[in-house]
Amino acid sequence: MKSLCLTLLIVPTFVFGFEPLNTDDAGTVKAGGNQIEQYFFSINRYGGMQQADIITPGEEYTGRTDAKAFPFTYTRGLSDQVEASLSATYYNEPSGSYSKFSNYVLASKWRFHEDSDLGYALAVKPTVVLPAGKQQQVAGLGLAAFNYGVNFIASKYWQDIELHLNMMYMRSPYNINYSVGTSSDLNRTNIFLISLAPVWSISKNLKIALDIGAATNPPSSEQYLSHYALIAGIYSLTDSVDLGISYMRTGSNYGETFASQQAGATRSEVGITWRF
């Protein structure tokens, strides 16, 4: 990620992908440009009621066991305001009688408004998640039905701080003849998520971020919201390559995500973003 310049924050040349955060930014890849995000994440379960993790659409993992996976995203700039992306995830763990590849996501982001004087931008990002296999759904590697949704993104930029807000709706049906993550409990198919991520520019090459959010995607009917809290660092190795690392905790409330010694689940993530 490049250092911020207040008058150039939202022109396409200076945008950046926001892995390893969950919250997206309003920036898009420049026209004719390409971006590859290759990451690795490890999810640890602690036997609690927190079944569903809040992850970018298509990376959801609802299995009861620990998981290790490699999410990959390729993004192409179609114009200075529009980009398209294709994502997939390879699961090293868990394994079984199903393909290790899952979570195929097609998405497009349109930055429909920006004001360089006031330093903010607005974007909308529709997504389609292709169906996973039936046994993948049972293992928690995806849902065996078409999923789709839309994310409204607002970004505000100052000299050394930026703030990103996401408000997302996901329609997430599944094959009701099979369990989801080995659980036979009914799952919500209309999911709403809101998240907020402040990002601080510590130096020319280093940024740190806090990312918090909540979604109507709980593991039981008695719980309405799932919460997460994430901290991340992004270091620019070169002008075109960033190294990202993050640590996330999920729980039924923010007391579990921040203060509790044991969260419902944790996720550690590391990887690179390459722009060319």
Mean pLDDT taken over the chain = 86
- The Cα–Cα gap between 222 and 10 comes to 42
Query: By mean pLDDT, which of 21-25, 190-194, 221-225 is the weakest?
Result: 221-225
User: In the beta sheet, which residues pair with residue 123?
Assistant: 111, 153
pTM: 0.89
- The Cα–Cα gap between 152 and 88 comes to 22
Delimit the domains of the chain by residue range. Answer: 6-275
- pLDDT at residue 167 in the model: 97
Quick one: CA torsion of 254, 260, 266, 271, rounded to 10 degrees?
A: 80
176 phi-psi bin (left φ>0, alpha ψ -120 to 50, beta other) = alpha
Amino acid identity, residue 229? A
- pLDDT at residue 264 in the model: 73
Q: How many helices and strands in the chain, by DSSP H and E?
A: 2, 12
pLDDT-derived band of residue 10, with 50, 70 and 90 as boundaries? very low
- The Cα–Cα gap between 57 and 42 comes to 17
SS3 12: helix
- Cβ pair 28, 10 in contact under 8 A: no
Mean pLDDT of 73-92: 97
- pLDDT at residue 188 in the model: 84
Q: Give tens-digit pLDDT for 147-172.
A: 999 999 999 999 999 999 999 999 99
Mean pLDDT of 41-50: 73
- The Cα–Cα gap between 251 and 245 comes to 21
Instruction: Tell me the CATH number of domain 6-275, given options 3.10.180.10, 2.40.160.40, 3.30.230.10, 3.40.50.300.
Output: 2.40.160.40
Cβ of 74: how many Cβ atoms within 10 Å?
A: 14
Which burial class, exposed, middle or buried, applies to 205 when counting CB atoms under 10 A from its CB (0-12, 13-18, 19+)?
Answer: middle
Mean pLDDT of 65-88: 96
What percent of the chain stands above pLDDT 70?
86
Q: Give tens-digit pLDDT for 203-261.
A: 999 999 999 999 887 655 566 788 899 999 999 999 999 999 999 988 877 777 776 66
